[in-house]
Amino acid sequence: MKQLIINKLYIFSVKEKRSYSIPFFRGRNIITSSGIDGTKRGKSVILKSIYHTLGADCYYEDKWNINDKIFIMDFSVENENYYIFRNQGLFKIYEKTPFKEIFRTISRHELASYLKGIFDFAVELPNRDGNLEIAPPAYNYILNYLDQDKMDGTNFTSFKSLSQYADYKDKVLYYHFNVYNKEYYTIVKQIEDLSIECEKLGENVTLNQNMVVRVNKNINNSDYSVNMDNLQSEIENTKEEYSKIVKKLSKTKKILIRLRNEKEDLILHMNDLDIFTRNVDGDIKKIVNHECPYCHSAIVDQMELRIEKYNTVEDALFLKTELEASLIEIERKINKEELRYKEHLEKLQKYEERLKINTSEVEDVLRYKGFIEIRESLVKELGELTSELNEKNNNLDDLKKQRKKYDEAKKKVNKKYYELMVADKFRFGLVEIEDKKLENIKSTFVAGGSNKPIATIIWYINLLKLRREFNEEAIQFPIVFDSPSNAEIDMEKKHELLEYLFKVMGEETQLIVSTLGFTKDEFPDIKFSNVIELNNDKYKLLSEEEFEQDKSFLFQFMTEAEL
């Protein structure tokens, strides 16, 4: 596994022309001062400055003006050596050999992204828009730094601005324990998005179902779809039939009119013939009486005239006979056409009887048809929505199955967490902490009085144990604890707590701890790599002498604008 090892820390105040530098080593590093009057010597400043330089923001006292300080750290990752420079919000990273600037930024996100390339690790969290992003560097170190003034049980309070991510605590922890990762958050985001879509689709399905119910009430739950199709077909057919009947009636009527006119003409002709024959009979009588029928003069040759008249009467009689025959034929045709006309009338009557739909009934049917068309449109849309909802629900189920493996991993983490915490609870006699509070890393607990720093320390230590067990390939950062043996703890508990801390953190781990009145003799079985005792005056950590020694080192990091 990779390790970040801090080799040396430099703190400069260019304005005061003062500075301080301190070396660190792999293993146990102790920064101490007199147990009698060793407060305010700068131990906390040194420890705060470690992760401050690496991109986190710590809580300094008001007397320490962070804005006029420059911090430089010499650190190593594997066999690569770097410097990191910080002045307020400006960060620069340098290769140590050969000395070369390789990165600069004023953005914490950009810094975290670049450090990811060096650390091969960066905490990624969903932002307020739900999109996953590389979080600022403080979240990388959140398990590894504890401020003596921020020992608050199971709350992360040693760094500023952590609440920029909502409900970040368990998200950060599970990311460090290799439970949450980019794939997990992608699944979670898809589940959230799909759940919203399914909810909206469900609302639309319910809305459509309610609308279908209301439409069904308007049509009395009757289905007119087939009837309307039949009606439409019947209307089309009867329209064609009606047209045929009307055409036939019109045609028959015209024939009847023509035949009756012809009949009347024949009757008139026959009447004319009757009149003609009566007149001829009178003329014959006059001829017998020797009177000319034309000039009424006396006739000498009576036989010739009589023959002429008789021929005319014969013709008239013959013509009348033909006309009578024609009249009989016309009357036969008239009777035939009248029968045909009657048949057409009967068909028309049957048609009208079959199509017994008045105007109001048609309007009712059309209204029903409108309701049915609406219903069928809603039913079609309902089917599409239901199909889409089922598909999305299936996808949602698949995603939840994928998420289940992460839930199982969380259970393993919490089981181990419970075992570790319960063991340490009994070790230190923290009876006020309920076991139920130790079942899940999301749960919070606080011990009272002098037990509060103890509970806080064991919580941090067990989180680090979990990280090493479940994310053993991840880089290990230095553990920096500022005065874990708080002044409120009695000497016996103080010794027990420090011994616990020193033994849990082996020689391969870089541990940096500050405490008052430390001596190696108290821990004869434990090896310490570095013990530094601060003897400077209170609030006088930085010195002019060191500045003179290290200013040339500082100036190689600074441009004219920064100077």
Q: What is the pLDDT of residue 18?
A: 96
As a three-state string, the secondary structure of 512-549 is EEEEECCCHHHCCCCCCCEEEECCCCCCCCCEHHHHHH
Q: How many CB atoms lie within 10 A of CB 5?
A: 18
Pairing, β 28-33 against β 90-95: unpaired
Token digits of residue 236: 């089309």
The predicted pLDDT at position 236 comes to 59
- Report the pLDDT value the prediction gives residue 311, as an integer from 0 to 100: 62
DSSP three-state, residue 477: coil
Q: pLDDT at position 492, please?
A: 83
Q: Across residues 476-500, what is the average pLDDT?
A: 84
Q: pLDDT-based confidence at 142, cuts 50/70/90? A: very high
Question: What local confidence, expressed as pLDDT, does residue 365 receive?
Answer: 58
Instruction: Give residue 380's pLDDT band: very low, low, confident or very high (50, 70, 90).
Output: confident
User: Which is higher by pLDDT, 313 or 201?
Assistant: 201
Confidence of residue 287 (pLDDT cuts 50, 70, 90): low
- Whether the per-residue pLDDT at 416 is higher than 90: the answer is yes
| Among 33, 43, 11, CA closest to 480 | 43
Q: Report the distance separating Cα 563 and Cα 546, nearest Å.
A: 18
Three-state DSSP at 272 gives helix
- Given a cut of 70, whether residue 408 has pLDDT beyond it is yes
pLDDT digits (tens, 9 = 90+) for 186-243: 898 889 889 999 999 899 888 888 887 777 777 665 544 445 555 555 555 556 666 7
Q: What is the DSSP string of 299-333?
A: PS-HHHHHHHHHHHHHHHHHHHHHHHHHHHHHHHH
User: What is the distance in angstroms between the CA of the first residue and the CA of the last residue of the chain?
Assistant: 39
Q: Of 158-162, 235-239, 472-476, which gets the smallest average pLDDT?
A: 235-239
Q: Which two tokens stand for residue 211?
A: 């609308």
Average pLDDT over every residue of 327-333: 81
For residue 247, the one-letter residue type is: K
390-409 average pLDDT score: 93
The structure tokens listed for 146 are 């504890």
- The model's confidence at residue 359, banded by pLDDT at 50, 70 and 90, is very low
Q: Which of 13-27, 55-69, 191-205, 376-390 has the lowest mean pLDDT?
A: 376-390
Higher pLDDT, 198 or 359: 198
63-72, 120-129, 207-216, 398-407: range with lowest mean pLDDT = 207-216
- pLDDT at position 562 over 60: no
Least confident range of 237-246, 357-366, 416-425:
357-366
* Average confidence (pLDDT) over 107-127: 95
pLDDT at position 97, please? 92
Mean pLDDT confidence for 58-86: 94
Global pTM reads 0.70
Nearest to 269, CA basis, from 312, 322, 310:
322
Contact 212, 379 (CB under 8 A): yes
Phi, psi of 40 (to 5 degrees): 65, 30
More confidently predicted of 220 and 391? 391
Alpha helix ranges (H) inside 222-301? 225-288
Residue 457 DSSP symbol: H
Same fold, 15-178+428-555 and 225-358: no
CA distance 208 to 212: 6
Which pLDDT belongs to residue 512? 96
CA 554, CA 563: separation in Å to the nearest integer? 10
- CA–CA dist 298, 309 (Å, integer): 17
Residue 228: phi and psi, rounded to 5, are -65, -35
How does DSSP assign 127-148, residue by residue?
-TTS-EEEPPGGGTSTTTEE-G
CATH code for the structural domain at 15-178+428-555: 3.40.50
What's the pLDDT at 225? 44
* Domain boundary assignment for the chain: 15-178+428-555, 225-358
Tokens of 327: 């009249």
DSSP string over 190-202: HHHHHHHHHHHHH
pLDDT given at position 364: 61
191 vs 380: CA distance, rounded Å:
28
% of the chain exceeding 70 in pLDDT: 83
Is the model's pLDDT at 297 over the cut of 60? Answer: no
Per the model's pLDDT, the better-predicted residue between 381 and 544 turns out to be 544
pLDDT category, 561, cuts 50, 70, 90? Answer: very low
C-alpha pair distances (Å), 510 with each of 7, 34, 357, 477: 10, 24, 98, 8
Confidence label for 353 from pLDDT (cuts 50, 70 and 90): low
Task: Considering only residues 258 and 24, tell me which one the structure prediction assigns the higher pLDDT.
Answer: 24
393 Cβ partners below 8 Å, 6+ apart?
198
Compute the mean pLDDT over every residue in the chain, rounded to the nearest whole number.
84
For 225-358, which CATH class? mainly alpha
Question: Above 60 in pLDDT, residue 177?
Answer: yes
Q: Parallel, antiparallel, or unpaired for β 511-516 and 28-33?
A: parallel
Pick the residue with more confidence: 453 or 31?
31
- Position 317 scores a pLDDT of 67
Residue 1, number of CB atoms within 10 A of its CB: 12
